[in-house]
Structure 1
Amino acid sequence: METESLRTDRLGVLLDQFDQAREMAQVRLTGLGDEEYLWEPVPGCWSIRRRCEAVTPRAFGPGEWVLDRGAPDIPASEYAEVARQAAGGMTVDKIAEDWSVSVERVEQVLAHTGTPEPDVTPVTTIAWRLAHLHFEFAGRWEWTFGERRREPKLLVDFTPSADLALERFWASVDRWRDSIATVTDEQLDTVGFSQYPHGSDPDDPFIGVLAGGNLELIHHMAEIALLRDLWRARFTTSG
């Protein structure tokens, strides 16, 4: 992107960032095949699976294929976010509801001092990362620009086909991008402009929601890029 074409208004900066991340991601995903898409590099991976083969307690999806999801908890990487929620006036009960955990768990997080221990999280497949991003983009669109009534976890029909998954994913991403391009300055500052129910969107100004969405796209696509590198190098040995 040429320097003279860069926007400096708030929405423009976020759109430019989103567009660059999308362009880089699409290049990195070129040539993705079904085997690589579903590749589990280590035991115990989370992925998409047939409903009858689900291995996690909260796997979800509307069709034959579901997305792995474990028991609810607050990861250590989100302790600071919980502290910000409490500092911003959210009650412990509301935070517990937001994270689908007990009040006792929230109190434990808020009482924690020092540096949290690193999270122990499952390795996820490319299919899982794409599906996770897809249902979040689809859900946020529904609860911001759509009817605001359909459950986000039932909006995406997960598929073992990499080509079909990418076709559907980019369509959802582009719909989101086209809609946010129409947002006004007043709407950027509106708390609850997005009512997406799985997170803090109803309590946040929309500009924060957009920034968070960009971060999700960037960091999950970076993980996918690394998985592609590992797939390509999986049979090489050091001499």
Structure 2
Amino acid sequence: MGTGRLDLLLDQFDWAREKAQVRLTGLGDEEYLWEPVPGCWSIRPRGEATTPRAYGPGDWVLDLGAPDIPAGEYAEVARQAAAGMTVAKIADDWSVSVERVEQVLDHTGPPEPDRTAVTTIAWRLGHLHSGFAGGWEWTFGERRRDPRQMVDFTPSAALALDRFWAEVDRWRDSVATVTEEQLDTVGFSQYPYGSDPDDPFVDVLCGTNLEFIHHMAEIALLRDLWQARRPSCP
């Protein structure tokens, strides 16, 4: 185990990946698509999408709602403003109006808890897959393809996992080649949905690890709830 910044980030990612792969063993199609409450976001046949920005290149698309700044990101918006980003640039980053950014910056006191849709295992895996595919394309690839058109979402849990782990491993292998200078390079990643072009790459890697860990923890809980949804037969 190394002690450099990249070593520590890779060790953290590897540890999380190992645990996640164990937790996802045996995932079946019914559980993968299970909607524990009404109004879930998931993957759906294109003609059955329930959200205004559902996306994907194939017959199945990933639910996505109208753009907004969730309450959990108010502090990040404040940091962006403090770092010198204009309100217009922040609005562009979040795909919201200037007025919405100003509302967030003017907010005082603790933010109200976010009200977000419950998402299925299929949605969480698809969301992560799209992020890793787009992150690789806009960091190590041609920086050309739209991340939201790169993943062919599927109702097959086994196929989705095979494709997902292949994408995760490609990302990890490429990250392992990054130099110290590149870690500190602002805009080393040009991923178009978010603040990557304005951040040092080490910050992007920290965020990617956090995204992977927290969504995998949510998937683990959904698997537990699936198992506990009805009493076991004696």
**TM above 0.5:** yes
Query: Amino acid of the residue matched to residue 70 of structure 1?
Result: G
Offset, 1:79:
0.2
Select the residue among 156, 162, 166 that pairs with 1:167: 162
> Which residue pairs with 2:104 in the alignment?
109
- TM-score normalised per structure 1: 0.96
- TM-score normalised per structure 2: 0.98
> Which residue pairs with 1:39 in the alignment?
34
CA deviation string 1:90-127 (max 9, x = no partner): 10000000000000000000000110000011000000
Match of 2:9, SS state, is helix
> Which residue pairs with 2:83 in the alignment?
88
Runs of at least 4 residues of structure 1 off by over 6 A? none
Percent of paired sites with the same residue: 81
Select the residue among 147, 150, 165 that pairs with 1:152: 147
Query: Amino acid of the residue matched to residue 31 of structure 1?
Result: G
Matched positions, count: 232
> Which residue pairs with 1:49 in the alignment?
44
Select the residue among 54, 72, 83 that pairs with 1:77: 72
Match of 1:235, SS state, is coil
Pair 1:233 & 2:222 matched: no
Offset, 1:226:
0.0
Unaligned stretches of 5+ in structure 2? none
Select the residue among 188, 192, 202 that pairs with 2:183: 188
> Which residue pairs with 2:134 in the alignment?
139
Coordinate RMSD, CA, aligned: 0.7
In structure 2, distance between residues paired with 1:220 and 1:93: 30
Match of 1:128, SS state, is helix
In structure 2, distance between residues paired with 1:152 and 1:187: 22
> Which residue pairs with 1:58 in the alignment?
53
Offset, 1:28:
0.1
Unaligned stretches of 5+ in structure 1? 1-5
Query: Amino acid of the residue matched to residue 189 of structure 1?
Result: D
> Which residue pairs with 1:13 in the alignment?
8
Select the residue among 198, 201, 213 that pairs with 1:203: 198
In structure 2, distance between residues paired with 1:214 and 1:7: 17
